[in-house]
Structure 1
Amino acid sequence: MALEKWVAIASIGLYVMFVGEIISVFNFIINMPANFEFGTSFEPSPKILQFISIGVAPACVLSGLAFLLSKRYGSKQIGSMILSGGIILLIGMAYCYSLLDKIPDSYMVDAVVITPPLFMGVSIPVIIVGLILIKTNKKRPKKEYF
């Protein structure tokens, strides 16, 4: 496979990893063990920022790189991979947004509240880039008559 296909596959993996990490943090906050609060405290903001920096930020960069590598000739396969990454991010963040009602007020910090809507917004340009790549046709070489 060409480089752009591997980059698109890696971006899908990073999108899935980020969504899984955020869902697991939200589920941990909702189902906090009873004995956890006595000895230590849990801060969700640093974990969420860490997951953003190792998950979705590189995924967006890799999606953009795959687009730039294949935008001249267009590719339905790479476009559909970028599109599926955006859809995975959108659906995952919509699910996380539905979990916000169940999170206790003591853990409702800015990072917890802002992350799902922010990355639902980020997923829209990723989906658009994937659709653009799917719609792009291969440029045919010009025929030289003389």
Structure 2
Amino acid sequence: MAIEKWLAITSVALFAMFAGEMISIYSYVVDPPENAIIDDSWFDSKIFQFISIGVAPAGILAAVPFFMTKQYGSKSIGGLIVAGGVILLVGMIVCYMMLDEIDDNYITNIVRFTPVLFMILSPAVIIVGAYLTKQKKVRPKKEFF
């Protein structure tokens, strides 16, 4: 496999990891253990940590294979990038649906708007991947003389 395919696979894995991390922290705050001490700064800092560990590198790792293959296109790489965008979208929809169950003491702007932000950004990832799947391979011109 070429390096761009491995980069696309890694970006899908990081998108899935970010969605899983966000769902797990939101579900933790929905039903915290009795002895847990949770303050809003802890919740916000964890969200920032997950963004910097998961979705920021995933976006970079999705952009690099796009730029490497945009001249000739690639159905498999485009499909992987689309899959990463879909995973991100579904994960953020699940997090957004959990917002109603979270105690109002834990709701901050970061908690409320992070799923919305990435729900808005995930169609861009899907469109980039779809562009790669539709791109036609450019044939080199034959020189007869």
Q: Return the TM-score normalized by structure 1.
A: 0.95
Q: In the alignment, is the contact (CA less than 8 A) between 2:10 and 2:58 conserved in 1? A: yes
User: What is the aligned partner in structure 1 of residue 44 from structure 2?
Assistant: 45
Q: Which runs of 4+ in 1 moved over 6 A?
A: none
Aligned length: 144
> Which amino acid in the other structure matches residue 61 of structure 2?
L
Structure 1 residues without counterparts, runs of 5 or longer: none
Aligned to 2:140, what secondary structure does the other structure show? coil
1:41 positional shift: 4.4
Distance 2:6 2:126 in 1: 18
Q: Does 1:26 align with 2:26?
A: yes
* Alpha-carbon distance in 2 for matches of 1:41, 1:128: 38
| Pairing 1:35–2:20 present | no
Structure 2: 5+ residue stretches without partners: none
The aligned residue for residue 114 of structure 2 is: 115
Mapped contact 2:39–2:106 kept (Cα < 8 A): no
Matched with 2:137 is 138
1:63: which partner in 2?
62
Quick one: distance in 2 between partners of 1:55 and 1:61? 10
Q: Distance in 1 between matches of 2:123 and 2:39?
A: 35
1:38-81 deviation line (CA, Å, top 9, x unaligned): xx646200000000001000000110001011111110000000
Per the TM alignment, residue 36 of structure 1 is displaced from its structure 2 partner at its CA by 1.6
Identity %: 51
Q: Distance in 2 between matches of 1:66 and 1:83?
A: 13
RMSD after superposition = 1.1
TM-score by length of 2: 0.96
Question: Which residue matches 2:93?
Answer: 94
